Amino acid sequence: MGLTARIRTRDGWAVSHAVVTVTDMTGTQVLRAEADTEGTVRDATALTPGAYTVIVTAVGYAPAASSAIVTASGRAEVGTVTLARHGGTELPPPGPWTVDPAHSAVSAVAQHLGISSVRGRFTDFAALVEIAPDDVAKSRVEAVIRAASIDTGNGMRDTHLRSPDFLDVERFPEITYRSTGVSEAGPDRWTVNGELGLHGVVRPVDLDLAYLGTGADPWGGTRAAFRATTELRREDFAMNYNQVVQAGIAAIGTTLRVELDIQAVQGESLPAV
């Protein structure tokens, strides 16, 4: 006898803090139960056969309502109820997610001679994403990048980028990012507000973040994928070096486009830099 239900997100994740309320046709509440850690509701309360309304609520999600029929046995099997984030936006399940540097990329693109682009990437970095359980806006991101790991595919250029003209890696070996807030920007899109420490200067920098979904990996773990972009002005971080070529064109653009392609593993399983 009683009611059973499974509460899931659109990605199929359990909503462990969901609450199920059952009302009869007069609107009177006849049952209230909470989901367990697996997002499952099992309540043995005997219900009179007939039609009922089942309402599922959870902090951070839009309520969902469905109908249920209680049979002569007194059982009501609601099945799987899918909850959507408020505003239609989604994020992975709450808790820590550790960025996997072997399957992630931190890249920067600069204009060269006003007609083409040069792309570089950092090969040594670590980051942790913490998805807050009750208020997504309190989620956080922390990252550390080894400045000397810059790689543009050209040894001479990389040596120059590590010099005091640019990153000055001897004096400023680390590039850091710490978020200060997260806000919804559309379906599956978020704005991450944070502070970037680069070349001895700390400035507010916002990331345009897209959540691409989650899935199992071949090693028994669970992964989430993100893509984030932002633009930086070199002068904001006291990197003013440039060389002017013919017609007054700068050899290197003053704006950098930063592109992050991220895979994160659920839990704190990877070592920090």
Q: Does residue 99 belong to any structural domain of this protein? A: yes
Contact 196, 231 (CB under 8 A): no
pLDDT range class, residue 8, cuts 50, 70, 90: confident
- Would you state the pLDDT for residue 113? 40
Q: Is 79 left (phi over 0), alpha (psi -120 to 50) or beta?
A: left
Q: What is the rounded CA–CA span in Å between residue 191 and residue 182? A: 6
Q: Does residue 271 belong to any structural domain of this protein? A: no
Give me the number of domains the chain comprises: 2
Q: Does residue 191 belong to any structural domain of this protein? A: yes
Give me the phi and psi of 227, to 5 degrees please.
-135, 135
| Same domain assignment for residues 179 and 219 | yes
Q: Does residue 90 belong to any structural domain of this protein? A: no
Q: How many residues does the chain have?
A: 273
| Same domain assignment for residues 108 and 230 | yes
| Same domain assignment for residues 143 and 99 | yes
Give the pLDDT confidence of 130-189 residue by residue, as tens digits: 998 878 888 999 999 999 999 999 999 899 889 998 899 999 999 999 999 998 887 678
Q: Does residue 89 belong to any structural domain of this protein? A: no
| Same domain assignment for residues 53 and 183 | no
| Same domain assignment for residues 62 and 120 | no
* Domain range enclosing 29: 2-84
Domain end (from 65, 84, 103): 84
| Same domain assignment for residues 202 and 105 | yes
Q: Does residue 14 belong to any structural domain of this protein? A: yes
Q: Which helix (H) or strand (E) holds 155?
A: helix 155-162
Give the pLDDT confidence of 232-255 residue by residue, as tens digits: 988 899 887 664 444 444 446 678
Domain end (from 40, 55, 84): 84
Q: What is the DSSP string of 120-148?
A: EEE--EEEEEEE-SS-GGG-EEEEEEEGG
| Same domain assignment for residues 17 and 105 | no
CATH number for position 177: 2.40.128.110
Q: What is the rounded CA–CA span in Å between residue 100 and residue 128? A: 9
| Same domain assignment for residues 149 and 76 | no
| Same domain assignment for residues 9 and 73 | yes
Q: Does residue 273 belong to any structural domain of this protein? A: no
| Same domain assignment for residues 112 and 70 | no
Beta bridge mates, 68: 52
| Same domain assignment for residues 63 and 186 | no
| Same domain assignment for residues 259 and 229 | yes
pTM for the model: 0.67
CATH number for position 74: 2.60.40.10
Range among 86-90, 155-159, 193-197 with highest mean pLDDT value:
193-197
Beta bridge mates, 267: 97
Q: Does residue 229 belong to any structural domain of this protein? A: yes
When pLDDT is averaged across residues 252-268 and rounded to a whole number, the result is 86
- Would you state the pLDDT for residue 218? 81
Domain end (from 62, 84, 106): 84
